[in-house]
Amino acid sequence: MKVVLIGPLPPQRGGIAHSNRMLLKNLSAKHDVLAVSFSRIIPKAIYPGKLQREEAGTHDGATLEIDSMNPVSWLKAKSRIREFGPDTILFQWWTTFLVPCYLFLASGLKTRKAAICQNVFPHSEGPLKWLAEMAHSALAKAFLGKMDKLIAMSGSDKKLLGREFSRKEISLYIEPPYDLDGVDAKAMGREEAKEMLGLSGKNVVLFFGFVREYKGLRYLLEAMPEIAKETGAKLLIVGEFWERKENYENEIQRLGISDSVIIVDRYVPNAEVAKYFLAADLLCLPYTAISESGVIRMAFAFSTPILSTDVGGNPDHISDGLNGFIVPSMDGAQLAQKAVQFFRKKLYRKFSEGMREKRKELDWSDEKEKSVLG
């Protein structure tokens, strides 16, 4: 089958680029895939982070690039797509900023088109959240309504798509764990990784990824006084802050946990990921809302146990008591209770083995391919 895959690829940053890279790798094993990535997604002036791309590197498998702000690049891409003659076109869908570009690429092509919904409706934050949600909803429906098929990445999103687009073909694609290019998941042992970070002999809880409101970091901070008191654990916050870092620093000080929290405020490239996941005894995802999490799928590469809230697709990857714990969202007390239980009962080895077993269940398969291309 000839497939066009449109979405970000490394060196674009973030989980969606990693997700798209893995899909490209898996589809390319059996199909002829034309990968279309981006030279620019969001204008620098309104991008909340520091950089959208790695400072070095080339696109991983991309045949051509689109500038979301340059319609000339859209024309060139559309011409190349027509020339390629695909059987199906897959759009990675996560931000309404790409609606004009995506609608242009989709228009006039009789080829079957599908959207892989990383988010059905993009995350809205800030004082005008309600207004942003209205705009996101209208734009999302304008684009998704043009698709022949919608692909959900969590059970909760499949239900949402079913309500909003009842006449559309909808499938569920539980994404497989990531393999991180250039990363040796066995490069060092846990204690060696801890020593490298100055955490030798310490229990370590890891929060990894962009810090945004919906990631729920404040609830993990609320849990930390109890966790630190009962287990002596250190919280390692690794990721670029998309909110005011000072607000979190003030909360850390107010809670009296300054000695128990270490902040690495920057985007971590693949080459540095291993030391953080290998040093962690427990990855904590205290999210309040999400469709699916790339951080979870990274954790499988290192067999790092997970403590997560019960939102979005997180429970699809975690079997409670086997490879991690699931707790209600926005509940610092529950996070604390389960983290303390994890360390007191010394569950690292059991849950780490559970991660390896769960990975076998989640790996790429003919069924997953059918959910995307069928």
Write the CATH number for 226. 3.40.50.2000
Cα distance between residue 373 and residue 97, in whole Å: 25
Same domain, 211 and 343: yes
Same domain, 78 and 214: no
Same domain, 294 and 338: yes
Q: What pLDDT, in 10s, does the model give residues 18-70?
A: 999 999 999 999 999 999 999 999 877 666 666 566 655 445 566 778 999 99
Strand order across the beta sheet in which 282-285 lies: 261-264, 234-238, 204-208, 282-285, 306-309, 324-327
Same domain, 153 and 194: no
Whether residue 196 is predicted with pLDDT greater than 90 in this model: the reply is: yes
When mean pLDDT is compared across 97-111, 126-140, 352-366, the lowest value belongs to 126-140
Same domain, 119 and 194: no
Domain extent, residue 335, equals 190-361
**Inside any domain, residue 185:** no
The closest alpha carbon to 328, from 274, 282, 286, belongs to: 286
> Residues 195-223: what's their mean pLDDT?
97
**Inside any domain, residue 366:** no
**Inside any domain, residue 373:** no
> Residues 169-193: what's their mean pLDDT?
86
Same domain, 249 and 299: yes
Whether residue 131 is predicted with pLDDT greater than 90 in this model: the reply is: no
State residue 72's pLDDT score.
97
Cα distance between residue 267 and residue 271, in whole Å: 11
The mean pLDDT of the chain is 92
Same domain, 235 and 286: yes
Domain holding 156: CATH number? Answer: 3.40.50.11930
Helical ranges in the chain per DSSP H: 15-28, 71-84, 99-106, 129-144, 155-164, 190-196, 217-231, 245-254, 270-279, 294-302, 314-317, 332-344, 348-362, 366-373
Same domain, 111 and 227: no
Q: What pLDDT, in 10s, does the model give residues 224-283?
A: 999 999 999 999 999 999 999 999 999 999 999 999 999 999 989 888 999 999 999 999
Q: pLDDT band for position 120 (50/70/90)?
A: very high
pTM of this structure: 0.89
> Residues 328-349: what's their mean pLDDT?
98
Percentage of the chain beyond pLDDT 90 is 78
Same domain, 78 and 224: no
**Inside any domain, residue 374:** no
State residue 222's pLDDT score.
99
**Inside any domain, residue 180:** no
Same domain, 162 and 265: no
Q: pLDDT band for position 136 (50/70/90)?
A: confident
CA dihedral 101, 15, 222, 131 (to 10 degrees): 10
Same domain, 278 and 310: yes
8 A C-beta contact, residue 248 and residue 273 = no
State residue 104's pLDDT score.
97
**Inside any domain, residue 181:** no
Same domain, 107 and 247: no
The closest alpha carbon to 5, from 107, 110, 105, belongs to: 105
Query: Among 107, 138, 173, where does a domain finish?
Result: 173
Cα distance between residue 368 and residue 374, in whole Å: 9
Overall domain count for the chain: 2
Query: Among 173, 198, 213, where does a domain finish?
Result: 173
Query: Among 147, 173, 199, where does a domain finish?
Result: 173
